[in-house]
Amino acid sequence: MNTLETEKVLKAFADKVIQRAVNNLAKGDHISSGELAKNLDYEVEVYKSGSLEMEFTAPYYWRFQDKGVKGSSGKQSPKGKRNGRNSPFKFKGKNIKRGVALAWVKRKGIKGRDKKGRFIKDKSLAYLIGRSIALYGIPATRFFSSAFRFEAKKLPPEIRKAYASDIDKFLKFAIKDYNKKYN
């Protein structure tokens, strides 16, 4: 069965989801290196049976960014927020992986200060930021899930029309083929 119309609608849907997700990241100021935004993609697979499968692909950490991560302390952050409250993910230790926060601090050009106003080393600042993240968690951005839900609400009428068009073309072809064989 030819599913060209349905495939077009699914690809347009996926493009819109990705565009909205990247916009959500940008609006929330959640783009650091840009790797997540650059690597959001999708694949549409068409099987011989006529069934379709669509899968979104992204770097492994996109789920942490979307759903948040609970802190290992289980306490509210100093700002009074419960980061990652409903998240399936949770930090286990008292600090994040060594080097991750340091790379972020250097990329952002952040300089920390001590209580006397003197600059502290990047490694010390990265340690403090990493510890805070591990203890209190990461808030959910819902950058992808909200984009997917928003676009999915608009999808059903379009997908039904496209699928109906594909079935109509298939039936016309099948009937024509049948008539050639048996008439």
**Same domain flag for 81 and 126:** yes
Tell me what pLDDT residue 64 has. Answer: 92
In terms of residue numbers, what domain contains 95? 72-137
Decide: helix, strand or coil at residue 49: coil
35 and 59 assigned to the same domain: yes
- Rounded CA-CA distance 84/80 in Å is 13
b or e along 155-173 (b: 16 or more beta carbons within 10 Å of the residue's beta carbon)? beebbeebbebbbeeeeee
pTM: 0.76
Instruction: Answer yes or no: do 147 and 118 share one domain.
Output: no
Same domain, yes or no: 174 and 152: yes
Please, are residues 13 and 176 in contact by the beta-carbon 8 Å criterion? no
Under 8 Å between Cβ of 126 and 108: no
Same domain, 79 and 114: yes
| The total number of structural domains that make up the chain | 2
Residues 122, 167 within the same domain: no
pLDDT at 126: 95
Distance CA 103, CA 117 (A): 23
What pLDDT, on the 0 to 100 scale, is given for residue 160? Answer: 63
Does one domain contain both 176 and 161? Answer: yes
pLDDT tens-place values along the chain, 183 residues long = 566 777 888 899 899 999 999 999 999 888 888 899 999 999 988 877 667 778 899 999 999 999 999 989 877 777 777 778 888 999 999 999 889 999 999 999 999 999 999 999 999 999 999 999 999 999 999 999 999 889 888 876 666 666 666 666 665 665 665 556 655
Same domain for 60 and 78, yes or no, is no
**115 plus 145 within the same structural domain:** no
**Strand, helix or coil at 64?**
helix
Q: What is the largest CA-CA distance in the chain?
A: 95
Question: Are residues 125 and 151 located together in one domain of the fold?
Answer: no
Same domain, 151 and 125: no
Domain boundary among 137, 154, 171: 137
